[in-house]
Amino acid sequence: MPHITLETIARQLGVSKMTVSNAYNRPDQLSPALRQRVLQQAREIGYPGPNPLASTLRKGKTGTIGLTFDDPLTYAFTDPAAVVFMQGMAQECEQAGVGLLLVPGAPDRGQTLELLKTSLVDSFAVYSDYELDERIDVLQERGLPFVLIDSTPLAGVSWVGIDDRGGARLAAQHLLDLGHRRFGVVTLCVGPDSVRGRVTPERLAQRGYYVTKQRLAGYRDALEAAGIDWSSVPVYEHDHLPSTTVNVTSRTDDGYRLAPALLDRAQRPTAILAMSDELARGVMQAASERGIDVPRELSVVGFDDTPEAVRSRPPLTTVHQPLRDKGAAAARLLLDPRRVKANESSSQRSSSCGLAPRPPSHRRQPPMSFLAYLAAQQLVHRFSTEQFDVEPQPIDEEPIVRSRMDSVRLSVADVLRRTADRVEPVA
């Protein structure tokens, strides 16, 4: 069968090649009758339409944004926080009429880097929690515009994140205000290597995950300000699963597995700071199995304010972060940075105003880099914490939230929203 092209159809209909092309790519340039005539002829001779890859190369645009996480692809569909974040990105992509391509992160880092090199996308949103992430080097070499999420801010690169340190400090302060003095911490991974157990100062000094370290620093800020020796606080991290693992467990399972190290101690904590809602839910499950009443015998505070935090029993006290807004802001920074207004959620810094010069491979990065700085300073007080029977220790100064760089916070800080003192169980 001879190769069929646009020119073949044009010859058969006695029209120009441009007319046939317009029938597919610019239908508004043709009358409905002429366009229908071209498409009908194409169907009759078995022409499927222009080659998408060739069209992409010709236009220089794919109409697609890439998104890559630090975790396996299954994480994007199973972790509640990731799901809400993706909803924000997807909504913006739908409105702009562009696609969203997911590129897996761990466990096969080499495969991820190769996919980043070859993925046909116009730009990338990168969950880059890992310090000195090599994925950034790959994208810089490609010259693609990209935005970093939950990463150490880099000069000349758009960034979306929250004040993780301030949010964690707020969680710890809430428990201090309730009278707690004996704390435990269940943390996300400190580093990419598979380590489960107590976190040591030496481990914290190694290269690791930015968000984890920021939140640990926030917990420490509040506890040390209250006179509590941070070295006396047991901090446990969960481990990454090896790359050969097929059934990826949830963060709830991780919290459940770590909880015995805190709950089975002779002097167990009266309050546990969990670095995510899923870890907190796992801790509460383990406490329930041991007959430890939450919140009368144990207070638990999470982080994220996912939908599952409300549905847990008892409902979880947690630090709210605007996950959907983070996803939407990341997409807007890639699609149209001008839509992220400085008086709402971002600040702008020009590459000509003191930022480090960019190498030639950055030439396609927008001339303005944008920082979408979304505050996480709202503690949602539910039923997993209540007043403890110890007089609170005096605090010398009120904790404050400091903005980084020239960022403008999106929401009002230091708002404490309280629900009813008691939540009746659903029958």
Mean pLDDT of 405-426: 26
pLDDT category at 328 given cuts 50, 70, 90 is: very high
Residues 33 and 86 in one domain: no
For residue 35, is it within any domain? Answer: yes
What pLDDT does 386 receive? 57
What pLDDT does 391 receive? 39
> How many structural domains are present in the chain?
3
For residue 56, is it within any domain? Answer: no
Residues 192 and 291 in one domain: yes
What pLDDT does 93 receive? 92
Q: In whole numbers, what is the pLDDT of the chain averaged over residues?
A: 75
What pLDDT does 2 receive? 65
CA-to-CA separations, 179 to 183, 227, 386, in angstroms, rounded: 11, 13, 10
Percent of residues, the chain, with pLDDT higher than 70: 71
Residues 151 and 171 in one domain: no
Query: Which of the pair, 394 or 182, is modelled with greater confidence?
Result: 182
Percent of residues, the chain, with pLDDT higher than 90: 32
pLDDT of 181 higher than 90: yes
pLDDT category at 48 given cuts 50, 70, 90 is: confident
Residues 155 and 180 in one domain: no
Mean pLDDT of 309-319: 88
For residue 58, is it within any domain? Answer: no
Residues 98 and 158 in one domain: yes
Interval 247-290: pLDDT, tens: 444 678 888 999 999 999 999 999 999 999 999 999 999 999 99
Domain with 281 in it: 164-321+376-418
pLDDT of 187 higher than 90: yes
Interval 204-243: pLDDT, tens: 888 888 899 999 999 999 999 999 999 999 999 976 554 3
Strands of 378-381's sheet, edge to edge?
A: 197-198, 235-237, 183-187, 271-274, 299-304, 317-320, 378-381, 415-418
Residues 315 and 226 in one domain: yes
Query: Which of the pair, 337 or 323, is modelled with greater confidence?
Result: 323
Q: What is the CATH number of the domain that holds 25?
A: 1.10.260.40
What pLDDT does 192 receive? 74
Q: Which of 222, 212, 237 is nearest to 183 (CA)?
A: 222
Residues 258 and 287 in one domain: yes
Query: Which of the pair, 148 or 364, is modelled with greater confidence?
Result: 148
What pLDDT does 350 receive? 23
What pLDDT does 77 receive? 85
Query: Which of the pair, 22 or 301, is modelled with greater confidence?
Result: 301
For residue 426, is it within any domain? Answer: no
Query: Which of the pair, 292 or 54, is modelled with greater confidence?
Result: 292
Mean pLDDT of 322-336: 90
Mean pLDDT of 80-84: 89
Supply φ then ψ for residue 418, to 5 degrees. Answer: -105, 140
For residue 57, is it within any domain? Answer: no
Q: What is the CATH number of the domain that holds 411?
A: 3.40.50.2300
Long-range Cβ contacts of 151-156 (<8 Å, 24+ apart):
151/126, 151/127, 151/210, 152/210, 153/371, 153/404, 153/405, 155/355, 155/356, 155/369, 156/351, 156/355, 156/356, 156/358, 156/362, 156/365, 156/369
Whole-number Å distance between alpha carbons of 209 and 215: 10
For residue 41, is it within any domain? Answer: yes
For residue 229, is it within any domain? Answer: yes
Interval 343-385: pLDDT, tens: 233 332 222 122 222 222 332 333 344 555 565 556 676 665 6
What pLDDT does 74 receive? 77
Whole-number Å distance between alpha carbons of 422 and 333: 42
Residues 27 and 144 in one domain: no
What pLDDT does 236 receive? 93
pLDDT of 51 higher than 80: no
What pLDDT does 71 receive? 74
Residues 268 and 155 in one domain: no
What pLDDT does 195 receive? 74
Residues 170 and 157 in one domain: no
What pLDDT does 115 receive? 79
For residue 20, is it within any domain? Answer: yes
Residues 181 and 274 in one domain: yes
Q: Which of 142-151, 191-200, 268-277 has the highest mean pLDDT?
A: 268-277
Mean pLDDT of 150-160: 83
Residues 178 and 250 in one domain: yes
